[in-house]
């Protein structure tokens, strides 16, 4: 399998000491950290196409970690978020988890705990990206169908036999068979069952 | 309202930052040491960062001690004008560095106040720093900061007035809350601490709009003698 671009670990923390120490720690285990001092800086830097995860301080001046998470949610970003929280921020962490944060850690933490969570987040990101890419591929393949092939697809997903389709479309069974084959080929579906599922996914 | 408990929480939060950094560096060092071919200069870098973070933690503790000492009360009767004059050298330096002109308007014949001088100076310096930061948007050298003392009924007031952009509506109600900050790098503890110090002295802190522009932050301290 082709190796995708190396994931970036974004670290957003207003505290310079914490930020630099996290960068040092993550580099020491061969990860690619990118440190940013504020939510604003992150929003200016972040590219949704870049795989990775976000290690985010809950409490920051300006836009807080929670506010950044909400903004990312609103914009449909899928980057997994690991919150790091200070003393007594547990209620904030709970709120963050309710809004879909993938994990949280209390400062100071064991390095292995952070690294494990980052690995989990990266796996989750890779899965999400693969699912999105597959969905996108299917959408493009459906878009590439001719109007006639789309009619055939609609009848196929309703389970109509070739003979019925030929009658409904006013063409020969042989022509229906050719369209069918083209639909299967373009969408890459291995079976009728899979094709039906793809079509349903696209509608949802 | 910031209580001692909230201040303690603030200090705990502040201390947690260097501790986190130290833990991260130390753990990274031990990872690097267990791997062959590690560059010693990399370890050196982490170790000097650890030292820097312990110094930082020490400073936070020293500040806390300073505040705790105040509670045991090393208070004396002083003139607020003398208290302000003691730190004026420091303030002038700061103002000059920010391209802001500083002036003093110290009232004559003010009653004395019974205070921990260091703590009240800390409050005034905090107001000054906020004022200078508010004036940072004025790069044209028209920024002005005034330190004014006055009698206000039974209280003596020390006020720091800037001609900056003023305070946005949403920030107004929360200025003295711990951790609230409008600054990118603020801890949100400056004004909350000032508030606590004022209360410990039986006084209060507050702010009002300055005319024609800017903000006036003030601390009111009960007058203890008639001048």
pLDDT at B211 over 70: yes
Residue A174 has φ and ψ, to the nearest 5°, of: -60, -45
- Residue ending a domain, among A133, A154, A189, is A133
Alpha-carbon gap, residue B203 to B221, rounded angstroms: 5
Whole-angstrom distance, CA of residue B79 vs CA of residue B156: 10
Tell whether B17 is covered by a domain: yes
- Report yes or no on B65 lying in a domain: yes
Q: Is there a contact between B176 and B191 (Cβ–Cβ < 8 Å)?
A: yes
Rounded to an integer, what distance in angstroms lies between the CA atom of residue B17 and that of residue B173? 27
Nearest by CB to A107, from B9, B20, B181: name it. B20
Taking only the tens place, the pLDDT of each residue in A180-195 is 999 999 999 999 999 9
Do residues B67 and B81 share a domain? no
Residues B96 and B169 occupy one common structural domain: yes
pLDDT at residue B112 in the model: 93
Most confident of A26-30, A60-64, B5-9, B83-87: A26-30
Q: Kindly determine whether residue B184 and residue A38, on different chains, have CB atoms separated by under 8 Å.
A: yes
pLDDT in the model for residue B73: 55
With respect to residue A139, please indicate whether it lies within any of the assigned structural domains.
no
Per-residue pLDDT, averaged over B74-89, amounts to: 88
Same domain, A104 and A13: yes
B28 CB neighbours in chain A (<8 A) are: 21, 24-25, 28, 111
Q: Higher pLDDT residue, B227 or B136?
A: B136
A198 and A115 both lie in a single domain: no
CB A88 within 8 A of CB B9: yes
- Predicted local confidence at residue B118, as pLDDT: 82
Distance from CA of A44 to the nearest CA of B (A): 15
Assess whether A77 and A175 both reside in one domain: no
Q: Cα A17 vs. chain centroid, distance in angstroms? A: 31
Whole-angstrom CA distances from B6 to A26, A57, B87, B124, B196 are 33, 20, 28, 21, 9
Query: Structural domain of residue A109, as residue ranges?
Result: 8-133
Report the number of distinct structural domains present in chain A.
Answer: 2
Mean pLDDT of B71-85: 83
- Indicate whether B120 belongs to any domain: yes
pLDDT in the model for residue A56? 94
Per-residue pLDDT tens digits for B19-57 = 999 999 999 999 999 988 888 888 998 998 998 899 888
- Whether B218 has a pLDDT exceeding 90, the answer reads yes
Gap from B54 CA to chain A (nearest CA, Å): 11
Q: Could you tell me which chain A residue has the CA closest to the CA of B17?
A: A18
For position A1, what pLDDT does the model report?
A: 45
* Upper half-sphere CA count for residue A130 (Cβ side, 13 Å): 10
Q: Is the same domain home to B97 and B15?
A: no
What pLDDT is stored for residue A163 in this prediction? 92
Domain count along chain B: 2
Q: Is residue B227 part of a domain?
A: no
Contact A22 B184 (CB under 8 A): no
Q: Is the pLDDT of residue B183 over 80?
A: no
Question: Which residues form the domain of B37?
Answer: 4-71
Tell me: pLDDT of B144 over 80: yes
Q: Tell which wins on pLDDT, A146 or A59.
A: A146
Confidence of residue B1 (pLDDT cuts 50, 70, 90): very low
Q: Looking at the structure, do residues B30 and B88 belong to the same domain, yes or no? A: no
B17 with B37, same domain?
yes
Question: How far apart are the C-alpha atoms of B111 and A196, rounded to whole Å?
Answer: 88
Looking at per-residue confidence, does B149 or A75 come out higher?
B149
Between B5 and B118, the more confident residue is B118
Q: Looking at the structure, tell me whether residues A156 and A123 fall in a common domain.
A: no
Q: Which sign does the torsion angle of CA A141, A143, A146, A149 carry?
A: positive
Between positions 17 and 36 of B, the ones with CB within 8 A of A are 17-25, 27-28, 31-32
Task: Check if A86 contacts B (Cβ < 8 Å).
Answer: yes
Last residue of a domain, one of B24, B47, B71: B71
pLDDT per residue as tens digits for the range A88-133: 666 777 778 888 887 888 888 899 999 999 999 999 999 999 998 9
ipTM summary value? 0.74
């Amino acid at each position: 399998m082709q190796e995708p671009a190396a994931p970036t670990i974004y670290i957003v923390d207003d505290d310079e000491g914490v930020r630099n120490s996290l960068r040092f720690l993550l580099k020491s285990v061969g990860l690619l950290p990118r440190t940013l001092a504020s939510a604003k800086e992150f929003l200016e830097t972040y590219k949704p196409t870049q795989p990775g995860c976000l290690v985010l301080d809950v409490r920051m001046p300006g836009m807080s970690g929670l506010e950044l998470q909400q903004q990312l949610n609103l914009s449909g970003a899928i980057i997994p978020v690991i919150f790091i929280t200070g003393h007594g921020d547990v209620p904030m962490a709970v709120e963050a988890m309710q809004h879909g944060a993938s994990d949280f850690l209390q400062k100071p933490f064991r390095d292995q705990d952070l690294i494990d969570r980052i690995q989990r987040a990266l796996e989750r990101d890779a899965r999400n990206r693969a699912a999105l890419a597959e969905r996108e591929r299917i959408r493009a393949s459906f878009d590439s169908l001719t109007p006639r092939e789309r009619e055939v697809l609609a009848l196929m997903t309703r389970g109509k036999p070739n003979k019925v389709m030929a009658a409904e479309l006013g063409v020969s069974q042989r022509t229906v068979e050719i369209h069918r084959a083209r639909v299967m080929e373009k969408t890459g579906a291995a079976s009728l069952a899979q094709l039906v599922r793809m079509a349903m996914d696209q509608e949802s | 309202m910031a209580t001692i408990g909230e201040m303690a929480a603030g200090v705990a939060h502040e201390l947690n930052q260097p501790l986190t950094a130290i833990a991260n560096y130390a753990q990274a060092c031990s990872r690097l040491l267990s791997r062959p071919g590690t560059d010693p200069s990399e370890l050196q870098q982490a170790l000097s960062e650890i030292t820097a973070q312990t110094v930082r933690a020490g400073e936070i503790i020293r500040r806390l001690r300073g505040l705790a000492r105040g509670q045991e009360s090393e208070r004396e009767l002083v003139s607020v004008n003398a208290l302000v004059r003691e730190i004026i050298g420091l303030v002038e330096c700061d103002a000059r560095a920010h391209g802001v002109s500083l002036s003093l308007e110290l009232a004559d014949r003010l009653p004395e106040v019974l205070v921990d001088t260091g703590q009240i100076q800390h409050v005034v310096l905090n107001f000054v720093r906020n004022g200078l930061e508010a004036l940072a948007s004025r790069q044209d050298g028209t920024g002005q900061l005034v330190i004014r003392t006055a009698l206000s009924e039974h209280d003596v007031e020390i006020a720091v007035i800037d001609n900056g952009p003023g305070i946005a509506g949403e920030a107004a109600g929360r200025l003295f809350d711990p951790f609230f900050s409008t600054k990118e790098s603020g801890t949100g503890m400056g004004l909350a601490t000032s508030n606590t110090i004022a209360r410990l002295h039986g006084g209060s802190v507050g702010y009002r709009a300055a005319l024609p522009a800017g903000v006036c932050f003030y601390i009111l301290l009960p007058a203890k003698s008639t001048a």
